[in-house]
Amino acid sequence: MTTIDDFNFDGKKALVRVDFNVPLNEKFEVTDTNRIEAARPTILKILEDGGSAILMSHLGRPKGKSDPDMSLKHLVDKASEILGVKVNFVADCIGEEAKAAAQALKSGEILLLENLRFHAEEEAGDAGFAKELSELGDIYVNDAFGTAHRAHASTTIIARYFEGSKCFGYLMAKEIAAIKKVMETGEKPVTAVLGGAKVSSKITIIENILDKIDHLIIGGGMTYTFVKARGGKVGDSICEDDKQELALEILEKAKSKGVEVHLPVDVVAADDFNNNANTKVVSVDEIPEGWQGLDAGPETLERFKEVILKSRTILWNGPVGVFEMPNFAKGTIAVGNQIDEATKAGAFSLVGGGDSVAAVKQFGFEDKVSYVSTGGGAMLESLEGKTLPGIAAITD
């Protein structure tokens, strides 16, 4: 894997694809700086070598036309503060103005280009647009894992114009290594904790990881599709009736591969989908009509704990309850604590995919697991066994 450490950037202009797609409030202030902070080590390595960094990113979904609300100029002050270096800004990413700004850049300086998606050619993966971007720098660095699953001009096509002078930034390299650790080189036993609402959204992940894992813990809303498929009563719980056969096939497949599947045995059921509903702990396959399972029960959490604590490699994707409501967050917090304990005992733990990342941040587990992935869709597609175009563009 060719990384930024394989290059000396002295006197070079590095064209860096970062993922600065960050949330802004109504005053256009950055409300979550994680992605800018994640790019910092890569940018600083370039500057410390004596090079300069030209940063390109998208922000939001402007549909190929300029939108002042989605201008990257809103990020300049916050990025300057985080990087400790003044960030210069240019109001386009191609054309004469961008070219002149790039040419004027001196060693140790940073230039941020305007939102790539103001040009429809970016998402179309247009080769002419990619070539124009490529003319701004000497070395191409892809450090945007969050967009690695898209074959866009700046993430994939552009690499064609940097034969022998393209590499991954530190963030991208860490993401690839973390997934490889779970999928290929992880110490056994390997456990996957999969939660979330639907079996259908996890099916390709489950099918792809069954050959790599020893234990599969299933939690969250998709529990009830499995339980109902096995003849249990799930009351008003969320359930994909058309996926019951699929659920049984997954259980069969897991058994044939020697994977132990751990489903909840009890749940916290509620008589309404709201935080102040009446609750009771019931057996997972005896949920009364008018009630729905919204969190993992105490006996279930004890059983999950036993599996997690003996694991050496752990993948966590998806919460085990409706964690957005405090009264149904206990299960997800408990699983977080169990993974924290296993990690302290030497296990490698990777958290990735939308809701589990949100839960980890909300409950302060970010520094208690080995790695939190920055790329929702990209991470999930990696786990599904797909080759991400942004990664292939550097490795091929």
- Residues near 376 by beta carbon (within 8 Å), at least 6 away in sequence: 146, 352, 353, 354, 357
Binding site members for (2R)-3-phosphoglycerate: 35, 117, 150
In the chain, the amino acid numbered 117 is R
| Residue 396: predicted pLDDT | 83
Binding site members for substrate: 19-21, 35, 58-61, 117, 150
Catalytic residue status for 354: yes
Report the relative pairing of strands 215-218 and 190-194 from DSSP bridges. Answer: parallel
* Structural contact between residues 43 and 83, judged by C-beta atoms closer than 8 angstroms: yes
* Structural contact between residues 72 and 89, judged by C-beta atoms closer than 8 angstroms: yes
The CA distance from 149 to 352, in Å, is 15
In the chain, the amino acid numbered 194 is L
191 lies in the same domain as 106: no
- Note whether residue 348 is domain-resident: yes
Angle between helices 354-362 and 330-344 (to 10 degrees): 80
> What is the dihedral angle through the alpha carbons of 161, 165, 167, 169, rounded to the nearest 10 degrees?
-100
What does the longest C-alpha to C-alpha distance in the chain come to? 70
Q: Which of 168, 187, 208 is the last residue of a domain?
A: 168
- DSSP result, 294-333: EEE-HHHHHHHHHHHHT-SEEEEES-SS-TTSGGG-HHHH
78 lies in the same domain as 208: no
- DSSP result, 153-221: TTTTGGGGG-TTSEEE-HHHHHHHHHHHIIIIIPPSSEEEEE-SS-STTTHHHHHHHTTT-SEEEE-GG
How many whole angstroms from its chain centre is CA 163?
28
Binding site members for ATP: 202, 293, 324, 353-356
233 lies in the same domain as 285: yes
Catalytic residue status for 35: yes
- Note whether residue 396 is domain-resident: no
Q: Which of 112, 136, 168 is the last residue of a domain?
A: 168
9 lies in the same domain as 96: yes
Work out the number of other CB atoms within 10 angstroms of the CB of residue 96.
8
Q: Which of 99, 131, 305, 377 is catalytic?
A: 377
- Note whether residue 394 is domain-resident: no
271 lies in the same domain as 135: no
Number of folded domains that form the chain: 2
Binding site members: 19-21, 35, 58-61, 117, 150, 202, 293, 324, 353-356
- Note whether residue 395 is domain-resident: no
- Note whether residue 211 is domain-resident: yes
Catalytic residue status for 17: no
| Residue 354: predicted pLDDT | 64
Compute the residue count for the chain: 396
Helix (H) or strand (E) holding 354: helix 354-362
| Residue 379: predicted pLDDT | 83
Work out the number of other CB atoms within 10 angstroms of the CB of residue 72.
26
DSSP 108: T
259 lies in the same domain as 316: yes
| Parent domain of 261 | 175-383
The pTM is what?
0.87
The CA distance from 67 to 73, in Å, is 12
125 lies in the same domain as 190: no
Residue-by-residue pLDDT tens, the chain, 396 positions: 999 999 999 999 999 999 999 999 999 999 989 899 999 999 999 999 999 999 999 999 998 889 999 999 999 999 999 999 999 999 999 999 999 999 999 999 999 999 999 999 999 999 999 999 999 999 999 999 989 999 999 999 999 999 999 999 999 999 999 989 988 888 999 999 999 888 888 888 898 899 999 999 999 999 999 999 999 999 999 999 999 999 999 999 999 999 999 999 999 999 999 999 999 999 999 999 999 999 999 999 999 999 999 999 999 999 999 999 999 999 999 999 999 999 999 999 999 876 888 888 889 998 999 999 877 778 888 888 888 999 999 998
Work out the number of other CB atoms within 10 angstroms of the CB of residue 134.
20
The H-assigned helical ranges of 89-167 are: 96-104, 120-124, 127-134
- Note whether residue 392 is domain-resident: no
126 lies in the same domain as 189: no
* Structural contact between residues 117 and 144, judged by C-beta atoms closer than 8 angstroms: no
136 lies in the same domain as 186: no
- Note whether residue 276 is domain-resident: yes
43 lies in the same domain as 160: yes
Q: Which of 40, 78, 160, 198 is catalytic?
A: 198
Q: Which of 35, 45, 181, 368 is catalytic?
A: 35
Listed residue (313, 346, 316, 311) closest to 331, CA to CA = 316
Q: Which of 108, 310, 354, 385 is catalytic?
A: 354
- Domain of residue 147, CATH code: 3.40.50.1260
123 lies in the same domain as 252: no
Q: Which of 111, 139, 168 is the last residue of a domain?
A: 168
323 lies in the same domain as 267: yes
Catalytic residue status for 377: yes
| R_g of the chain, CA atoms, integer Å | 23
- DSSP result, 38-90: HHHHHHHHHHHHT-EEEEE---S--TTS--GGG-GGGGHHHHHHHHTSPEEEE
- Note whether residue 48 is domain-resident: yes
> What is the dihedral angle through the alpha carbons of 29, 31, 37, 43, rounded to the nearest 10 degrees?
-30
